[in-house]
Structure 1
């Protein structure tokens, strides 16, 4: 499989500011690989919550991650201000494939980019459900 190449900032319709934290660095002096997944999760869920498409406490529909991946191109480290680009690559009946990229301040090429797939399910039964209308409308605004 060919190695991916970093996307430009312009490939993502939304950017979420993400300051690094002291705890993000590992013993090698850069942001640890697992931390990028937290950045991805935060960027998506903050976007959805701010637009009324996600009710974290009382919503009947929640998104479960069923697939994820990330490619790394350049290191980031504390203290840096990053931004996470967010786009929707596929919008299904009950699932969404998000593509995300992390950008260092002042740089046009991603230092890391990845994806995850959410399957939206009923909070209680954990069975897949059709995307609610407001969620679908918000996600359509992120389609690449």
Structure 2
């Protein structure tokens, strides 16, 4: 079982540049910005590798649950990498484990969890994950991550 703060626990990485306005008055990236990092990493992957058409496709993903645990600060102008693994793949939903790594570090500065439910674009009712997208998500499925809540003491 892998420790969720370790870089090798993740199947995919997205590099993101922090921006000047990501910092707060305390000189580090504000906590709410981490959710934007997670959203960017997940959706970039779904669009680029899963074929999700966010503008015209019949199915869209809505975030129904998210959380983040913070361990170490990051600040502009650092580059970060967001690691992503799929931890659960259901009929219409998918759960992701995410981690923010400061450039060059192997231990995560923050851990996040995201749950997407895929819905019909027009009536917003849940629908099965399209097969092409499901195939892509299966590539990032990893059931070996331990619960981050157990790891908060480290």
CA RMSD, 1 decimal = 1.0
Contact 1:6–1:112 (CA under 8 A) maintained in structure 2: no
**Quick check: 1:58 aligned with 2:28?**
no
CA–CA distance in structure 2, aligned partners of residues 6 and 13 of structure 1? 12
1:68 to 2:66 alignment = yes
Does the CA-based 8 Å contact 1:6-1:73 persist in structure 2? Answer: no
The 8 Å contact of residues 50 and 137 in structure 2, kept in 1 or not, is answered as no
Equivalence for 1:116:
114
- Structure 1: 4+ residue segments shifted above 3 A: none
Deviates more, 1:46-55 or 1:130-139: 46-55
- 1:1-144 to 2 correspondences below 5 Å: 7-144=5-142
User: Equivalents in 1 of 2:128, 2:43: separation in Å?
Assistant: 18
Question: How high is the TM-score relative to the length of structure 2?
Answer: 0.88
Deviation by residue 1:24-49 (Cα, 9 ceiling, x = unmatched): 00010000000000000000111111
